[in-house]
Amino acid sequence: MKRRPLGRLGWPVSFIGFGGIAIQRLDDEAAAAVVRAALATGVNFIDSARGYSDSEVKIGKGIRGIDRASFFLATKSMARTAEGLLADIEKSRSNFGVETIDLYQLHNVKDDASLEQVLGPGGALEGAEEARRRGWIKEIGITGHVTSVLEKAIATGHFATCQFPYNIIETRVEERLLPACAEQELGIIVMKPLAGGALGPEWAEQSLRFFLDKPVSVIIPGMDSLDQVKANCRVGRDGQPLTAEETAQVREALRSLGERFCRRCEYCMPCPHGVNIPLAFLLHGYWSRYNLQGWAQERYGAMAIKADACRECGVCETRCPYDLPIREMLKEAHANLDVPGVKQEK
């Protein structure tokens, strides 16, 4: 597996890291097996979050008994106060079954008010620095989706790493955010390298190869199967950068995605009315992009609560880091997927 330094920290992290969001879908035994397989195949950077339901617990079971010095463990918290962050760090340590977490990140700092709060007196940064003094964590990072906010955070000099979404069809970070990180020698952790699964398995290899000649430290695709581990790690071991022609071909094939699509981060959940928003959008993607209309409609027909249960309260849109018009998109999904009488076959 190719390795790169994590910015000025110099940690030799694997080019392919392990994103912990996907294993929420697996049972404990299957999740632990995927984590162990990733480590055995050369992955040495694991990332999770307090907000990923039981991801930390499942990763903890996967790393049990494995030499702690052989991998780097990262997670993150949405807490905005010192007290809240310290409580989350304690919980993360317990979930993972470790004394020290290598990297703890202030998660999804998405506006100036949030940044001011985490940096201010009694804010989350203060809690992270206290946790570092106690030996609970080694380094502090930040994550987010808004370039202007992350630029301000980076400029403070408080953070060793920066994590943000970046992929072959979402490249705006190349203009300002990548140079800002380079100037401060920050480790760059790429989330959503497959656009939250929207790029589809047929584009996974090319989407990961896209980063082989980019100035990033580690990319963290979510993995929830042994096949995904093998395929992703193969790119990290043997992959070559995309040619200009290949890049153009992929972008042309994916042009219909635009930027108005769900990345399946699940920050919109839970819906107060029970709609599984990411699943509705996933099925709509199969309907609209992959010529699987009947398949998608059958599975949509099996959903106990469909997208038309939306009461347009708008709570989901306040949570979405991509500012998607979720209510409008749910209407579109239902209009295309709902076929009276269509049910999933048993």
What's the confidence (pLDDT) of residue 24?
85
Query: What span, in angstroms and rounded, lies between the C-alpha atoms of 314 and 303?
Result: 21
Query: What span, in angstroms and rounded, lies between the C-alpha atoms of 34 and 8?
Result: 30
What's the confidence (pLDDT) of residue 299?
86
Output the six-digit token pair for 222: 């979510």
Query: What span, in angstroms and rounded, lies between the C-alpha atoms of 329 and 12?
Result: 42
Domain range summary for the chain, segments of one domain joined by + = 3-253, 277-337
Is-cis flag, bond preceding 165, omega within 30?
no
Q: Is 252 exposed, middle or buried (0-12, 13-18, 19+ CB in 10 A)?
A: exposed
Cα 334–chain centre separation: 26
Query: What span, in angstroms and rounded, lies between the C-alpha atoms of 37 and 30?
Result: 11
- 7: phi then psi, degrees, rounded to nearest 5: 60, -145
Output the six-digit token pair for 11: 């940690």
DSSP alpha helices (H): ranges in the chain?
28-40, 55-63, 82-96, 112-119, 124-134, 147-155, 177-184, 204-209, 226-238, 244-253, 277-289, 293-301, 315-319, 326-337
DSSP 16: B
Specify the CATH number of the domain 3-253.
3.20.20.100
3-state SS record for 42-79: CCCEEECCCCCCCHHHHHHHHHCCCCHHHCEEEEEECC
- Contact of 275 with 244, CB cutoff 8 Å: no
Mean pLDDT, the chain cut into blocks of 10 residues (346 residues total):
97 97 91 98 97 93 97 98 98 98 95 96 98 98 93 97 91 93 97 78 90 97 94 96 90 73 82 93 76 83 94 94 91 92 45
Output the six-digit token pair for 87: 């409580």
Sequence-distant (≥ 6) Cβ neighbours of residue 189 within 8 angstroms: 17, 47, 74, 141, 143, 161, 162, 163, 164, 216, 217, 218, 219, 220
Cα 206–chain centre separation: 18
Q: Kindly compute the dihedral angle of the four CA atoms of residues 147, 206, 191, 157, in this order, to the nearest 10 degrees.
A: -50
Q: Estimate the crossing angle of helix 112-119 against helix 124-134, to 10 degrees.
A: 40
Query: What span, in angstroms and rounded, lies between the C-alpha atoms of 272 and 253?
Result: 36
Compute the residue count for the chain. Answer: 346
Query: What span, in angstroms and rounded, lies between the C-alpha atoms of 19 and 90?
Result: 21
